Chains A and B, each alone.
Chain A
Amino acid sequence: MVHVSATPVLALRGVSKRFGAVQALTDVDLEVHAGEVVALVGDNGAGKSTLVKTIAGVHPIDEGVIEWQGNPVSINKPHDAQGLGVATVYQDLALCDNLDVVGNLYLGRELLHHGVIDEVTMEKNARELLSTLSIRIPSVRIPIASLSGGQRQVVAIARALIGDPKVVILDEPTAALGVEQTAQVLDLVERLRERDLGVILISHNMADVKAVADMVHVLRLGRNNGAFSVKDTSHEEIIAAITGATDNAVTRRAGRHSTEAAQ
């Protein structure tokens, strides 16, 4: 089972974010410990992507505090987040089709050997990384164009690990994948946890969340709407928190009936 450290590696305290007249996030709290998979769920427009982008440095926060290993930090641009050790895998994977797997893994941080790209060490490290993650790829020297969707997803996740991050954010990693590929990505998420990384997993798929997450944080209309430990929470409770248990078709109907009965 999970052994989480006392101090969260990443903590958001009372974070708010406005876009013009829209209050995208209001007073949101989130904690991620090392070796913990935190699922972030919520309906479309609940603020999941905005929250992730504040952590990744795409949108600086308006109010609140971001704590990194217990110390308050300011994340104003993607570079800040990368410097701290936050790696983000976006839904559109953004790999270069024409470069091979090694080239993509190290894109933007190539290893040098006397000022020249050190292909040999990069290839060796890439093979080691992929094999410790049990990633199956035909060859590290074929262009990304010839990989399947699932293989591209695992390459994108592996790419996030090259910089030795402490927290990995995965935005809908299984959204476009088949059964087998989804299982592979979920295996990979578990291996990230075994490597003592904090993982933030955004997903609409409750089965995936139940399968790998330790904690589920529900966002609703830009606010926290409950944090649950996955193993003692039922599927329905999470769904209720996502849709707003106190305000949905079922409760409204029940409410109407009770008032009619009272009359």
Chain B
Amino acid sequence: MSDTSKVEKTEGVVETQSTVAPADDPTAAAVAVVDPRLLVREEGFKGYWTEFKRKTKGGELGSLPVVIGLIVIWTIFQLKNDRFLSADNLSNISYFLSATGMIAIGLVFVLLLGEIDLSVGSVSGLASTLFAVFVVDHTMNGWLSLFLTILTGIGIGALHGWFFAKIGVPAFVVTLAGFLGWNGLMLWLLGSSGTINIPSDSGPVHLLGQNSFFMDQAIIGAYVLAGLGVTSMAVGSFTEQRRRRAAGVPFRPTSEILLRVGLLAVASFLAAAVLNNASGVSNALVIFLAALVIVDFVLRRTTYGRKVFAVGGGIEAARRAGINVPMIRITVFAIAGGFAAVGGMFFAGQTASATLNAGGGNTLMLAIAAAVIGGTSLFGGRGTVWSALLGMLVIQSIQTGLDLLNMNTSIQYMITGAVLLGAVVIDSVSRKSQKAAGRA
């Protein structure tokens, strides 16, 4: 209470003292006053800038590496090939990023626990094959096959989770075994033919195909989506502001809300205009974005999401709070398996077939890299599902750019490896400086 004399000069104290306690009561003064050592953001845009600088120094990089990475990558590729920033190519990027992006959403859950799932690539490949077997070999209904495929993915993930949570096998090893085993099962199912072509005139594969667009390519479609996103963010922010104001807790100033909504509006309407310039918003992208919104809501606003963060932040604390830790672990791996299967469906939609190399190669590495580049920590407890989108923008830009330049697979692998390493290095370094700045 030694700094009572200092803080009494501020306004807040005077108010509290008049309503709560006499001026000479030091504890009353201490109640409402903000700790004088706490940095308070200044008003106006200068405030945002100083806070931004402070956060960056403290290692809270947020989406900064992604933005810088994107600018660098887009500049380099545009200089090498002037078709890179054309509407058609950007539309391609937006379509192809959704498949691996779906896998990355599931990985974000696993990374939030501080674990890793190495099997998601193989599970996605197995899913596309399973779907093809259901539809082609067993002439099953497409939607029923989709349902069964995703259910299988969830089951596979739950099995990994069970070995990890109940038997105590490290997740790394369980999912490494899954990586091999499920890939083997896929190869066995595909047999000697190696490829199963899936009819793509209707059903899920048609919906996820490269030529299937939201609202059938109507120009208005993209703007409807952009408008929907911007409006819901604005309504949500102002509702929250009103509730917080009514409850008497700190709320976001109107200027800040307008700034954020404005930025989102510029970004989404620009993207809509570019995609319309090509051929519209692909259904795959729309489903991916919808999944992001739903999963973000689950992680931030439901008790389940809170439990996932709690287990990632401190297992002992979570256990004492009555959280069923094994249950959370199993469900998280099940979610990762489910999203891997969905990602596999997206791959099947891209090629309208199930092939030997589906989900192989660098699919797994790209999904992990996407989540980490987007800002989800490998060390657990920190991250958002939007990192799947941001990271995939970077990753898919590199992929598409290298394809445009006709680079060899060998070069692609080397570059992907370097990008993954770079992302993990950024994560580790930022965690170190967060520790030094007392934020981790």
A residues near B, CB below 8 A?
79, 90, 92-99, 103-104, 107-110, 112, 115-117, 119-121, 123-124, 127, 131, 134, 136-139, 141, 143, 145-146, 187
CB pair B439 A117 closer than 8 Å: no
CB pair B34 A107 closer than 8 Å: no
9 contacts between A and B (CB under 8 A): A96-B310, A98-B382, A108-B321, A120-B240, A124-B248, A136-B35, A138-B34, A139-B34, A145-B440
Residue of B nearest to A106 (CB): B306
CB pair A97 B302 closer than 8 Å: no
CB pair A96 B313 closer than 8 Å: yes
CB pair B249 A120 closer than 8 Å: yes
CB pair A146 B438 closer than 8 Å: yes
CB pair A99 B247 closer than 8 Å: no
B318 contacts which chain A residues (CB < 8 A)?
96, 107-108
For the complex of A and B, list the 6 residue pairs with the smallest distance between their C-beta atoms, beginning with the closest: A108-B321, A96-B313, A98-B381, A98-B313, A138-B38, A94-B317
A115 contacts which chain B residues (CB < 8 A)?
302
Complex CA gap A73/B2 in Å reads 46
Other-chain contact of A97, B34, B37, B244, B381 (Cβ < 8 Å): B381
CB pair B30 A136 closer than 8 Å: yes
Say how far B30's CB is from chain A's closest CB, in angstroms.
5
Taking the complex as formed, is B253 at the interface, i.e. its CB lies under 8 A from any CB of chain A? no
The answer to whether residues A117 and B306 also contact, given A108-B323, A137-B35 and a CB cut-off of 8 A, is yes
Residue of A nearest to B314 (CB): A96
A121 contacts which chain B residues (CB < 8 A)?
247
A79 contacts which chain B residues (CB < 8 A)?
322
Chain B, interface size category, equals 35 or more
Complex CA gap A124/B303 in Å reads 18
B residues near A, CB below 8 A?
27, 30-35, 37-38, 240, 243-244, 247-250, 301-303, 306, 309-310, 312-314, 316-318, 320-323, 380-382, 434, 438-440
B27 contacts which chain A residues (CB < 8 A)?
134, 187
The answer to whether residues A95 and B247 also contact, given A136-B30, A139-B34 and a CB cut-off of 8 A, is no
B31 contacts which chain A residues (CB < 8 A)?
131, 134
For B247, B317, B322, which residue has the most chain A Cβ atoms within 10 angstroms? B317
Say how far B291's CB is from chain A's closest CB, in angstroms.
19
B32 contacts which chain A residues (CB < 8 A)?
131
Say how far B329's CB is from chain A's closest CB, in angstroms.
16
Complex CA gap A208/B432 in Å reads 37
Complex CA gap A121/B322 in Å reads 22
Other-chain contact of B313, A99, A120, A131, A138 (Cβ < 8 Å): A99
Complex CA gap A242/B299 in Å reads 51
Given A94-B317, A103-B310, 10 more contacts at CB 8 Å? A95-B317, A96-B309, A96-B381, A97-B314, A107-B323, A110-B306, A120-B243, A131-B32, A136-B33, A137-B35
